[in-house]
A = this chain, B = another copy of it.
Amino acid sequence: MNNTNRGRLLVVSGPSGIGKGTVCKELLRRCSDLLLSISCTTRPMRPGDEEGVTYFFKTEEEFERMVQAGEFLEYAGMYGKRYGTPRAFVEKNLLEGRDVILEIETQGALQVIQRAKEDVTSVFLLPPSMRELHKRLVERSTETPEKARLRFESAYREIEYAEQYDFVIINDQLEETVEALRAILIASHYGAGRALDHMHALKEEQVL
């Protein structure tokens, strides 16, 4: 089985407020072949949301049916709402050789890393400082101060997960972060494990 032509699943995670969305949007703009995986959620639509663009919006019942039918690559609960990654979109595109990016919170990311290990390249974004993360969370928050505080406290725990990722980027300057991500995506196509079949084929090839 030759897997060198399979696409890569780029998992980008990090604590709330780190700027995952901005980073991924800019990466998608620069990598025209890269596809964004759209998650399902049970949270209500907010201003700026668009069905099938920011999320697929589901009722609790619809979401639960998808869980039971095994249609999620991962799913998780966050602050009472559920989020999940539809499996079919990811699998179809990887199989057809296209790269997929998954912008995802830390709980779901670890599930994907464990379940799709061979296909995944995982990147964790860290803030330059907690003070900076606090600023971003409070300033950018579309939620109540109480919710922003909960997210900030949770960030201290989430940061520990960084060790379980392949790569870690300190998201200070957008330009550096996006170029690092792009390099990581390109490099991920050349992991030694992906060339084993070619290596074996070479050894069988008689020339002289």
Contact = CB atoms under 8 A, between A and B. Distances in A.
Interface of A: 123-124, 126-127, 129-131, 134, 149, 152, 156, 159-160, 162-170, 179-180, 182-192, 194-196, 198-199, 202-203, 205-208
B163 A196 contact: yes
B195 A170 contact: yes
B194 A168 contact: yes
B168 A203 contact: no
B202 A126 contact: yes
B159 A207 contact: no
Given A126-B198, A203-B156, A203-B159, A167 B191 contact: yes
A79 to B, nearest CB: 19
Contact of A190 (B149, B169, B199): B169
A134 B206 CA distance: 11
B166 A205 contact: no
Contact of A187 (B130, B134, B180, B206): B180
B196 A129 contact: no
A190 B198 contact: no
Contacts of A130: 202, 205-207
Contact of A162 (B126, B183, B192): B192
B205 A129 contact: yes
